[in-house]
Structure 1
Amino acid sequence: MWVADEQQRAMLDTVRRLCDRDIRPYVQEMDEKAEFRREIFNRFGELGLTGILIPEEYGGLELGYSTSTLVLAEIASVSAAYAVSIMVHWLCAAAITTFGTEDQKQEYLPRLASGELMGAWSLTEPNAGSDAASLRTAAAHQDDGYILNGTKSFISNGGAADVYVAFTRTSADRYSGITAFIIEKGWPGVSFGKKENKMGIRACDTRSMIFEDCYVPTSKRLHEEGQGFRVAMTMMDAGRINNAALTLGIAQGAMREAVKYAQEREQFGKKIGDFQGVQFMLADIKVGVETTAAIVARAAYKKDHGLPVTADASVAKMYSADVAMRAAENAVQIHGGYGYMKEYPVEQFFRDAKIFQITEGTNQIQRVIIAKRMLQGEV
């Protein structure tokens, strides 16, 4: 992936060393055990990665999405699960940065930047997936605060994170009836369901988040009452750009393993990489990786410079997810029967890639968003 400057190169070298030392040797074991290790997240914090999007005045690096996308791709090329963990942490921090009061920023951002706190995003519900506005978790007024009741589902970092940006319904209005809150693990009335037994991304904890008469003071409301849908949709642009970078990393990891195997495996007296059929699959992976890198870089640039980016974010998210799925499939095919075995990384890339055609708006929903933005003049 193209890297613009020496600062980014130095950071990626550091991230690569961390992944090679602390993640790669254990990635298969953590996947099989569905085991998230907080000490790896803490290492991200020690390197400043947890604060990469947080302003310097709150202890972050404030390097923008052109850098965060490079970092995510590098991590995901080894472990998509740990890339998800830091990605949703960034999403939580970015929401507080963008919509939080000064007191909220002072309270949470320095500790999110350092990695002392892990963040998460709590939007999805059992009956509110792509249709986020249909959420039902209720927030009723009581004294100087709210009482929350309801269940969130498929929360990445669920139960592991310390701070959550959660979305609730404060009135019946479909869009202006949604309000966001900052929620802390350990508060009375907050609990978590069982760890989901997932197909992929297994080393990132995914759980339901349950509110039972949970009192939340008004001081923890994020932005104004009724503005939660705006908060969610604004942050979705950022989330989808980082999501695209993550799936680019999966494709890069699959490409690395496919090339390595094609150079080593022999059949019919020569390396399988000498066969045109294998070369075609390798070329297809490379084309997908390079075009995705360009699309992600464009979206990140526009986000960093305050330009309209909703369509670009959806293009990047949709295209990158499809590229990752095809790259992983081709990598498995190049490995033959061995690609179906857990001893080889490509089967995990294949399992990990699938969820990104679904999460943060399915690829079908992305096509709807892209077309609507085109018709509105965002081209």
Structure 2
Amino acid sequence: MTIHRHFDSAEQAELFDVVTRISEKELAPVAADHEARADYPRHLVTRLGELGVIGLAFPQRWGGGGQSVAFFLQVVEELARGWLAVAESVHLQALTCRGLARHGKDELREAYLPAMLEGRLLGANCMSEAEAGSDLGAMTTAASPVDGGYRISGLKTWVSHAGAADVYLVYCRTGGAGPGGISCFLVEAGQEGVQVHPPFAKMGVCALPTAPVAFDGVRVPAVRMVGGRNRGMLVAASVFDHGRLGIAACAVGLAQAALDHASDYAKQRRQFGSPIASFQGVAFLLADMATQIAAARALLLTTARLMDEGRPVSAEAAKCKLFATDTAMRVTTDAVQILGGSGYVRDHPTERWMREAKLLQIIEGTNQIQRATIAQSL
């Protein structure tokens, strides 16, 4: 179906066309095979980095594209239409760079940021712990002062890019209890004491590795602290809104893929002498799917433009994440219903998309947390 896009320049339109071709010709055809083998497509993420996709919304000073957040999110959506794991990986890489770009010292940014934005160095955020998911103030991973730096010990979990990442942004306790005693450090994956555990056997998005990462007395120089001492939650806060919007963009792209597939199937599948798309029960499902996706996309782009204007968007970003991911869950479930038995088997991608949509309701803050954030804003 036709999606009406608005670009600020011919350069944006040209790059978007390139991304569309990659999504349709290089991502979608190989997604099922990679997902079945839980094989992370590092080469595809690196290629997108070389094209400038990861750094689109970053300052040119650090090798970014100087483009709007709104345009970057449209690109993420288009990637997710082809393969969610790649879109999420691009989003996660940009998210890891976000805290470093905003709060890192110039020395640290110059050393790492250009290579990360180009996809040559893969990054990962290490926030969650077994007892500190939505409640980050409960984290126990600690960084103790030593000569010239710190020694980090603790276990992080649900780390996306774990095992594939070259650098980790590790949030750990340097002060008292609660969120006010947390700092953030950049740790290289090859350092002594960094141990990646076996990846989780997930229900979906299997090609994107997620695993616990242990830090056993890992030494880091003081210059690798991102932001100030006990100011790590400010670094985290700078990525929360971007994180919610990025997942919302992934959800819109995933839902669009499901709608496209279900619509094509309904026009071709015949029962009682007619295409099932002509039956009101199916046609109304498709109409609702299309309407919900259009509403999610409009909410996302409106919020992204507010962010580009420098306005606070925390509550609006929570609304985007909540509505878009709930929409993706409904749309993918309805796509399976439209395909009937065919939707339940792996000959069609709808069952995979349904499993993948569930993840989006959980990561970057569960949708219950988003509702709490929205309620507080009221």
**TM-score normalised by the shorter chain: which range applies?**
over 0.9
The answer to whether 1:190 aligns with 2:194 is yes
Partner of 2:5: 3
- 206, 213, 225: which is aligned to 1:209? 213
Residue 278, structure 1, aligned to residue 287, structure 2: no
Query: Which residue, 269, 272, 277 being the options, matches 1:265?
Result: 269
What does residue 149 of structure 2 align with? 145
Aligned to 1:105: 109
Give secondary structure in 2 for the equivalent of 1:180: strand
State the TM-score, normalizing by the size of structure 2: 0.97
Question: Structure 2 counterpart of 1:162, which letter?
Answer: D
Identity %: 36
User: 1:91 pairs with 81, 89, 95, which one?
Assistant: 95
Contact 1:51 1:115 in 2 (8 A): no
Q: Deviations over 1:128-152 (max 9, x none)?
A: 1111111111111111111111111
Output the aligned Cα RMSD.
1.1
Offset, 1:54: 2.3
2:94–2:117 Cα contact (<8 Å) kept: no
CA distance in 2, matches of 1:61, 1:209: 32
CA distance in 1, matches of 2:339, 2:11: 36
Aligned equivalent of 1:176 = 180
Q: Deviations over 1:313-346 (max 9, x none)?
A: 0000011010000000010000000000111111
53-62 or 298-307: which moved more?
Answer: 53-62
Whether the 8 Å CA contact 1:44–1:115 is kept in 2: the answer is yes
Q: Which amino acid aligns with 2:28?
A: R
Partner of 1:355: 359
> Is residue 124 of structure 1 aligned with residue 162 of structure 2?
no
Residue range with higher mean Cα deviation, 85-94 or 19-28: 19-28
Displacement of 1:163 in angstroms is 1.7
How far, CA to CA, are the matches of 1:313 and 1:251 in structure 2?
Answer: 18
For residues 280-359 of structure 1, what are the structure 2 equivalents within 5 Å?
280-359=284-363
2: CA distance, partners of 1:145 / 1:355: 37
**2:72 paired with 1:47:** no
Contact 1:78 1:253 survives alignment (8 Å): yes
SS in 2 for 1:208: strand
Amino acid in the other structure paired with 1:233: A
Q: TM-score, normalised by structure 1?
A: 0.96
| Contact 1:54 1:109 survives alignment (8 Å) | no
Give the Cα–Cα distance (whole angstroms) in 2 for the partners of residues 8 and 266 of structure 1. Answer: 41
- State the 4+ residue runs in structure 1 displaced beyond 4 angstroms: none
Deviation at 1:20, TM superposition (A): 2.4
d(CA) in 2 for partners of 1:122, 1:11: 32
How far residue 165 of structure 1 moved from its aligned partner, in angstroms, is: 1.4
Aligned equivalents of 1:50, 1:70: Cα separation in 2: 12
